[in-house]
Amino acid sequence: MNWIILVVSGLFETVWAIALGKSAGFTRLVPSVVFVVALVLSMGGLAAAMRSIPIGTAYAVWVGIGAVGTAVFGMLYLEEPATVARVCCLLLIVAGVVGLKLAH
């Protein structure tokens, strides 16, 4: 169950990162509120997952999910370049996250 919480928390990290970008320095209300809510849910889930998952593993998985999710969102919806090199690097992060889960 804690792994599910950790994955969902990583997805909320993606949400708050995107909302932070859309908030225009916290001058736009809706993205700013989404940022705060997603940040609290993300951090709360990370903290809960760390009760049974080692801190190094939990943090690396959480950051990996957030980083890959945010980068993929940018490529799909924000016209960021989806080069072969970028996609390969993101796949390496995914492989690392999966490896940490398997090594746990």
* pTM for this prediction: 0.90
Residue 104 has pLDDT above 80, yes or no: no
Proportion of the chain above pLDDT 90, given as a percent: 94
**25 in helix, strand or coil?**
coil
Q: How big is the chain, counted in residues?
A: 104
Question: Which tens digit of pLDDT belongs to each residue from 48-99?
Answer: 999 999 999 999 999 999 999 999 999 999 999 999 999 999 999 999 999 9
pLDDT band at 46 (very low <50, low <70, confident <90, very high): very high
* Distance in angstroms (rounded) separating the CA atoms of residues 5 and 8: 5
| Cβ neighbours, 10 Å, residue 8 | 15
